[in-house]
Structure 1
């Protein structure tokens, strides 16, 4: 199935700014977060939005996507050229075939090899992302076998140099043809390219030199971390081979939405209802923040959708000093289930204010008529 346009996924036009892209992604992340939305396609939509954001939030990737779309512009360039890392497919073998191995450098099968990196997705609460947290996670990974210390051989024995490839990890087949002497190299079938063979295998790892284990990793989640952030834990990935270093562990952060607060970068947003009387006459109300309740003065005549700022009541800045702000949006709530006495008071208020009078309606009607029909 073909991929959807990244701008379409986020509901944006191609002229969208980086702020628009980030805001749209956050809205979709909150809507389709698997911990909140239990629909069958929620996780897929969450991943689709994350993929779109990863590309469009990166200026270089965005420029390439805007020009080429989902098509890789490097395809069809002779073996998959990819931004300076060339994979020339079988050219090394061709040099070996026609020039007797003079065209490339042989890989040492006994050289140390770095272990693979691991990725772990960690879901945390909204306030844990704001204030940080220390916790332990369990990671399944391969580790060096403690019985054989990674060489794969039974204790008291050791691997032996392969008698077929003599430790090179490659077999050579020499042919004399009308074009000259041809040397063809392939992975040694006796040692599978390892350069060594094991006669008596370790009973713990069965000759692989590695075992699967559950590893406990202690994490320190910094205050201010946000959705999609990656924490790198050096050396906690898969074990290396032949004395090579371990890979790294990358912890991808997912943040659960909050019932009351919403986050935009280091700022916090919330919505507070006001009664008609509070908005008209003014009041002092209590506002919940991330740490406490504070007093907020509402001026008389405040209109619905007015924003008030609580300076320094937002999220601690992950890279820097201080905190963001909290923005409070007030919404005037229309009263319902009024008693007859309350209705009469409102009618009296309307009469004294000159609202909803016959003359006013007539005046509005006349102005509309003139606007439509002309003088």
Structure 2
């Protein structure tokens, strides 16, 4: 069996560049499209296989140490991957493999996180977001070539994007198609890559994306902007941009579906006699009437002051839980008045009832059942 180094005409200590140059020179001379003779065809197969072995560092090491002339077990048997591809429609000569690859590919999706407060959730908001992503190269407009130049047909595969390789296997010699190592399967090469993008057709850049965030969003929700992600290699179509929402906790209000919840502290005299007050909701002041005799845990509902649902127009409610505040310090006159009130009202003695973990637990149960 011919020595691979002799086939390529290089010394055993030849560098990878020397091996590649020798292969390209012989491939141009012996390619079937250039030299259709049977002898040239056989030499072309030998040259191609020799290059496949010697251009791979692991296969070359095995070959130099006296391993299988076809690149050791990994290549001699497979071998097997090529055989299966050849006979079962894989990369071994099927119509799909026979077509050159396209440089244009879809870009990757991008993810940006945006922080909102509860007011943004109630009414929706507009944001201009700075996104660091891949954009179309303005110099070459995605062609990957220096302006005034263009890709040229690969002189090894003649634009096919693949070459034939002969592999020895248990079934004999098998010829299979593999991507052309010169053009990487594209069928063309770029002799003068664009200096701005290094032949990628895209560059990294910061750009501004404007988005209207609708009311009703919640933490973890992702909004999709089709076609606003990264531009693909060689000016391929853009991927999508996803906006992930995170809503900060509010100091006063909390959310329960489309409703807003809050607690209103009421003094004991106001709870007894009733009163009117004005509270500040997220969209302005609201007049609120507290009826006489209101109890801790009672719920006061203000219609239409909650959250607009994500897919709807009817706003939820603002539900206010009452907490009656009992004074902890009284002067002598105040104490005398309270004692007089107790005598006059003849309040019943304290009695047992269902256990609650404090007034907030009571409010929570009232909110859930209201």
* TM-score grouping bracket, smaller chain normalisation: 0.5 to 0.7
Paired residue for 2:126? 134
Q: What is the distance in 2 between the residues matched to 1:351 and 1:104? A: 100
Question: Is 1:291 aligned with 2:283?
Answer: yes
Per-residue deviation, 1:297: 1.8
- Judged with a 3 Å threshold, the aligned counterparts in structure 2 of structure 1 residues 337 and 178 are, in CA distance, closer, same or farther, namely closer
Q: Where does 1:1-375 land on structure 2 (aligned, <5 Å)?
A: 93=82, 95-98=84-87, 101=92, 105-106=96-97, 108-110=100-102, 112-184=104-176, 186-354=178-346
- What TM-score does the superposition give when structure 2 sets the normalisation length? 0.65
Q: What is the distance in 2 between the residues matched to 1:227 and 1:278? A: 38
Paired residue for 1:57? none
- What TM-score does the superposition give when structure 1 sets the normalisation length? 0.64
**Is the CA contact 1:228–1:254 (under 8 Å) kept in the aligned structure 2?**
yes
Gaps of 5+ in 1: 1-89, 365-375
Per-residue deviation, 1:198: 1.8
Task: Name the SS of the counterpart of 2:233 in structure 1.
Answer: coil
Task: Find the structure with the greater CA-based Rg.
Answer: 2
When the two chains are superposed, the root-mean-square deviation of aligned CA atoms in Å is: 2.9
- Judged with a 3 Å threshold, the aligned counterparts in structure 2 of structure 1 residues 330 and 166 are, in CA distance, closer, same or farther, namely farther
**Is the CA contact 2:103–2:186 (under 8 Å) kept in the aligned structure 1?**
no
Paired residue for 1:70? none
Q: What is the distance in 2 between the residues matched to 1:272 and 1:339? A: 26
Q: What is the distance in 1 between the residues matched to 2:291 and 2:236? A: 68
Gaps of 5+ in 2: 1-78, 353-370
Q: What is the distance in 2 between the residues matched to 1:333 and 1:212? A: 60
1:78-115 C-alpha deviation (Å, 9 max, x unpaired): xxxxxxxxxxxx99755225568367833741264221
- Judged with a 3 Å threshold, the aligned counterparts in structure 2 of structure 1 residues 216 and 311 are, in CA distance, closer, same or farther, namely same
Per-residue deviation, 1:201: 1.7
Q: What is the distance in 2 between the residues matched to 1:333 and 1:140? A: 53
Q: What is the distance in 2 between the residues matched to 1:163 and 1:181? A: 26
